Chains A and B, each alone.
Chain A
Amino acid sequence: MTTTASRPAIEIRDLHKSFGPLQVLKGIDFEVGQGEVVCVIGPSGSGKSTLLRCVDLLEEPTAGRIWVNGVEMTDPDVEVDAVRRGIGMVFQSFNLFPHLTVLNNLTIAQRRVLRRGRAEAERVARANLERVGLTDKADVFPAQLSGGQQQRAAIARSLSMEPKVMLFDEPTSALDPELVGDVLTVMRKLAEDGMTMMVVTHEMAFARDVADRVVFMDGGVVVEQGPPQEVLGAPKHERTRSFLSRVLDPTRVAQLGQTDQAPEAPEAPGLPADDRHRL
């Protein structure tokens, strides 16, 4: 227990993961400090979601070691249910329990796992619903919520377990564009409250504004990492530049046709850049 505070919240050493013959993670070394917000970006298939899922042991790593809150997840004898209580996970597809009301979505694990009484569980649940701005939705079923509301309820569900670390797996990728903002606002508030967060995302503006560190992954390895203004503003690696140019200015790529051969300069002169994306 005494070492927990000094160790990073998440520590990953030489992590490998294969699905059959397909090598998805090829030796990842990585850590997230206490209270740090780390955004993991990269093209689809780069292994960033797999990395996140390995942290919570939703995927069994092929090799390498992972510690979360000072406990080794990769220890074969790890009490996985116990460690997971300290880790919140937010999925791209929300994964709210459709047969339970929003309130019961937030209380069921508190009651079954933390053995809290109904009154206390509901008190915690309502406090967290307030935190995500869903006070009036406690008694509805998830199907009656919009995507953005569902995701916020899912975040509140995780928070109700009072985790030390929150993992976000592309939390806004399944949302209509106009609903993304609400979810990101909740996440930003969470970051400001000092939550340790590891966020796999395509929201570059969020990464730029909220992350303490941005990690760029491609082909199963960490290509580069650093403060957002460095990785996003002045990427050192060619692969990072080409990815950013595709994400930030997709129309130009469409005009060029050949997507894989990115041009030298990420900011092509003469093309208007969306203000939101200017770094």
Chain B
Amino acid sequence: MKLRRRQRERLSLGLQYLVFIAVIAAVLFAADWDRLADAFFRVDIIKSMFPTIITVALRNTVLYTLGAFAFGLVFGTILALMRLSRVAPYRWVATAYIELFRGLPALLVLFLVGYGIPIAFPEREIPGGVFGSIAIGLGLTAAAYMAETIRAGIQAVPKGQMEAARTLGMSHFTAMRTIVIPQAFRIVIPPLTNELILLTKDSSLAYVLGVTAQTIEITKFGRDMLNDRVNATPLLVAGLAYLIITLPLSQVVRRLELRYAKAR
């Protein structure tokens, strides 16, 4: 029996749905849901985590992330401009910095900032305490990544934009600030969002600085609860807490991109 083209297509599509449903069903039936729920979804534990997980842990995660992102963005932009500078030593320093800090684990950098700087400058404190240390510690690494992204963004702005700005009498600096960099940032919104999401998760490294009840963030909070209650439920809740941050973030950025698409 020979099937017609449309019959073949329908059959193929049907089979694909069948496989999908079969896999889901297998997982549903094979897993031991009672034991799973007991280990990961104890309602009483979930209840006990609120509201602290939101009012303290999630809040701190967001703060650490934004701090590190802001620091990385400013420093990364400076590094990117140094990379593109006409002054050779600026280029060397920026390149060396980027290569070094991209290669080092964020944990190590955070540790060095948290414990190295107080030893090096015993008279001074990092402004903002734990928050400042995390913003700088994570920001130093983020800056190295962002610098390369921003540099690529600047170079992706057509040469004619700078030329047009200069022929209107703008200085190089003014042209960069009002014409090139704003366009570069529109180009790098998607990769910078990635960086922001990565930072959200990297903020969990804050524990190496020894956080307190006031400065605790989501992961540490979840792990403390895990040890406390000898149950994995807090980890599941912590995971969901991260999604509360990252999912709306992706949505906001998608909107932003759409808005800028018009002005590209």
- Cα(A144)–Cα(B263), bound, Å: 9
Q: Tell me the A83-101 residues at the B interface (CB within 8 Å).
A: 84-85, 87-89, 91, 93, 95-100
Q: Which of A88, A91, A97, A114 has the most CB of B within 10 A?
A: A97
Q: Which residues of B contact A143 (CB under 8 A)?
A: 262-264
Interface string of A47-81 (1 = CB under 8 A from B): 00000000010100000000000000000000001
Question: Is there a chain B Cβ closer than 8 Å to A22's Cβ?
Answer: no
Q: Which residues of A contact B155 (CB under 8 A)?
A: none
How far apart are A98's CB and chain B's nearest CB, in angstroms? 5
Task: Tell whether, in the assembled complex, residue B183 and residue A109 are in contact, meaning their CB atoms are under 8 Å apart.
Answer: no
Question: Is there a chain A Cβ closer than 8 Å to B178's Cβ?
Answer: yes
* Contact A161:B264 (CB < 8 A) given known A99-B186, A112-B174: no
Q: Which residues of A contact B169 (CB under 8 A)?
A: 81-82, 84-85, 109, 113-114, 161
Q: Count of B residues near A, CB < 8 Å?
A: 22
Residue of A with least CB distance to B260: A99
* Contact A89:B263 (CB < 8 A) given known A81-B171, A82-B169, A113-B170: no
Interface string of B162-201 (1 = CB under 8 A from A): 0111111111001000110011001000000000000000
Cross-chain contact of B167 among A89, A98, A112 (Cβ < 8 A) = A89
Question: Is there a chain A Cβ closer than 8 Å to B103's Cβ?
Answer: no
- Cα(A100)–Cα(B203), bound, Å: 36
Question: Is there a chain A Cβ closer than 8 Å to B160's Cβ?
Answer: yes
Q: Which residues of A contact B262 (CB under 8 A)?
A: 141, 143-144
Question: Is there a chain A Cβ closer than 8 Å to B161's Cβ?
Answer: yes
Q: Which residues of A contact B158 (CB under 8 A)?
A: 93, 95
How far apart are B176's CB and chain A's nearest CB, in angstroms? 12
Task: Tell whether, in the assembled complex, residue B170 and residue A97 are in contact, meaning their CB atoms are under 8 Å apart.
Answer: no
Question: Is there a chain B Cβ closer than 8 Å to A16's Cβ?
Answer: no
- Cα(A91)–Cα(B158), bound, Å: 13
Residue of B with least CB distance to A157: B168
Question: Is there a chain B Cβ closer than 8 Å to A158's Cβ?
Answer: yes
- Cα(A157)–Cα(B160), bound, Å: 15
Task: Tell whether, in the assembled complex, residue B167 and residue A58 are in contact, meaning their CB atoms are under 8 Å apart.
Answer: yes
Question: Is there a chain B Cβ closer than 8 Å to A24's Cβ?
Answer: no
* Contact A141:B263 (CB < 8 A) given known A99-B182, A112-B178: yes
Q: Which residues of B contact A112 (CB under 8 A)?
A: 170, 174, 178
Determine the interface band of chain A, counting residues with CB < 8 A from chain B. Answer: 20 to 34
Q: Which residues of B contact A88 (CB under 8 A)?
A: 167
Q: Tell me the B207-264 residues at the A interface (CB within 8 Å).
A: 260, 262-264
Q: Which residues of A contact B165 (CB under 8 A)?
A: 97, 109
Q: Which of B171, B179, B186, B264 has the most CB of A within 10 A?
A: B179
Question: Is there a chain B Cβ closer than 8 Å to A103's Cβ?
Answer: no
Q: Tell me the A156-206 residues at the B interface (CB within 8 Å).
A: 157-158, 161
How far apart are A113's CB and chain B's nearest CB, in angstroms? 4
Task: Tell whether, in the assembled complex, residue B167 and residue A87 are in contact, meaning their CB atoms are under 8 Å apart.
Answer: yes
Q: Which of B158, B164, B171 has the most CB of A within 10 A?
A: B164
How far apart are A144's CB and chain B's nearest CB, in angstroms? 8
- Cα(A21)–Cα(B244), bound, Å: 60
Residue of B with least CB distance to A109: B168
Task: Tell whether, in the assembled complex, residue B163 and residue A95 are in contact, meaning their CB atoms are under 8 Å apart.
Answer: yes
Q: Which residues of A contact B167 (CB under 8 A)?
A: 56, 58, 84, 87-89, 158
* Contact A97:B161 (CB < 8 A) given known A81-B169, A141-B263: yes
Task: Tell whether, in the assembled complex, residue A98 and residue B263 are in contact, meaning their CB atoms are under 8 Å apart.
Answer: yes
How far apart are B119's CB and chain A's nearest CB, in angstroms? 46
Task: Tell whether, in the assembled complex, residue B170 and residue A99 are in contact, meaning their CB atoms are under 8 Å apart.
Answer: no
Q: Which residues of A contact B164 (CB under 8 A)?
A: 89, 91, 95-97, 154
How far apart are A76's CB and chain B's nearest CB, in angstroms? 16
Q: Which residues of B contact A93 (CB under 8 A)?
A: 158, 160
Q: Which residues of B contact A89 (CB under 8 A)?
A: 163-164, 167
Q: Which of B160, B169, B174, B263 has the most CB of A within 10 A?
A: B169
Q: Which residues of B contact A37 (CB under 8 A)?
A: none
Question: Is there a chain B Cβ closer than 8 Å to A108's Cβ?
Answer: yes
Task: Tell whether, in the assembled complex, residue B168 and residue A99 are in contact, meaning their CB atoms are under 8 Å apart.
Answer: no
How far apart are B168's CB and chain A's nearest CB, in angstroms? 4
Query: What are 22 A-B contacts defined by CB distance under 8 Å?
Result: A56-B167, A58-B163, A58-B167, A81-B170, A82-B169, A84-B166, A84-B168, A85-B168, A85-B169, A87-B167, A91-B160, A91-B164, A93-B158, A97-B179, A98-B183, A99-B186, A108-B178, A109-B165, A109-B169, A112-B174, A113-B174, A143-B264
- B interface with A by C-beta (< 8 Å): 158, 160-161, 163-171, 174, 178-179, 182-183, 186, 260, 262-264
Of all A-B residue pairs in the complex, the 10 with the closest CB atoms, nearest first, are A109-B168, A95-B164, A89-B167, A85-B169, A95-B160, A113-B169, A84-B169, A141-B263, A99-B263, A81-B169
Known contacts A108-B178, A141-B263; 16 further A-B pairs (Cβ under 8 A) = A56-B167, A81-B171, A82-B169, A84-B169, A91-B160, A95-B163, A96-B164, A97-B164, A99-B182, A108-B168, A112-B174, A113-B168, A113-B170, A141-B262, A154-B164, A157-B168
